[in-house]
Structure 1
């Protein structure tokens, strides 16, 4: 199963969905598209997603969003728990798109970044 955390208003997210359906999903795996703005992730789901992504938690946070500043978050001082809670409460802060496959995840910025989930190099 392939899961895509998607925002239909985002061109990168739409491009990533297109890449999955036309290029990378040759085995016709089931694809679940989660519109995370309509169905926000819980803190536990965000922690699991972060574990699959690896790397710093801040990589999955859209720090340029107004909500990030409005919440008083700072990249140098925000704790992981503060960031998880912020994303759960304000899903617009979740980086997009994120594709999950076989227990691994990648952020599709640029969309070609997801190639690693399909054992390809972009």
Structure 2
């Protein structure tokens, strides 16, 4: 099974998610979406596969969200996608895709992985996510 991550190496959540995938023994296809942004069809397909509103895929922090007044409820989904295509930093990361679906953020991607975690995993901030037996810590 193929796993793809739309990744920003500057983002801790994205780095943690990539590490979780690798902790399952999977080497995903890594797309640094700021260097290689998705096209409209790909972005629309990702949003559809996640089955979330377009607004849930827009990142506010550290982006031109406020400057562009993207909180205005009159923007259509198509217009919001236009903004994400013009400013890929607006795409909330990471997005992980496998044959089982598409998800974000980090722990939600565990449902998409075809293999169990191989051992303990702790996030960069010290939060334990997976125990020594490869089970999720809740």
TM over 0.5: yes
Cα 1:103–1:22 change in 2 (3 A) is closer
What SS does the aligned partner of 1:69 have?
Answer: coil
Q: Does 1:118 align with 2:113?
A: yes
Aligned length, in residue pairs? 116
Structure possessing the higher relative contact order (Cα contacts under 8 Å, 6 or more residues apart)? 1
* TM-score, with structure 1 as normaliser: 0.85
What are the ranges of 5 or more consecutive residues in structure 1 without an aligned counterpart?
none
What are the ranges of 5 or more consecutive residues in structure 2 without an aligned counterpart?
117-134
Residue 13 of structure 2 aligns with which residue? Answer: 12
Shift of 1:11: 0.5
* TM-score, with structure 2 as normaliser: 0.75
The Cα RMSD (Å) is 2.0
Contact conserved, 1:8 with 1:35, CA < 8 A, in 2?
yes
CA distance in 2, matches of 1:6, 1:54: 20
More helix by percentage: 1
Q: Does 1:36 align with 2:33?
A: yes
Deviation per CA, 1:90-120, whole angstroms, max 9, x where unpaired? 0000011110000510012xx1111121378
Contact conserved, 1:58 with 1:75, CA < 8 A, in 2?
no
Cα 1:78–1:45 change in 2 (3 A) is same
Cα 1:7–1:114 change in 2 (3 A) is same
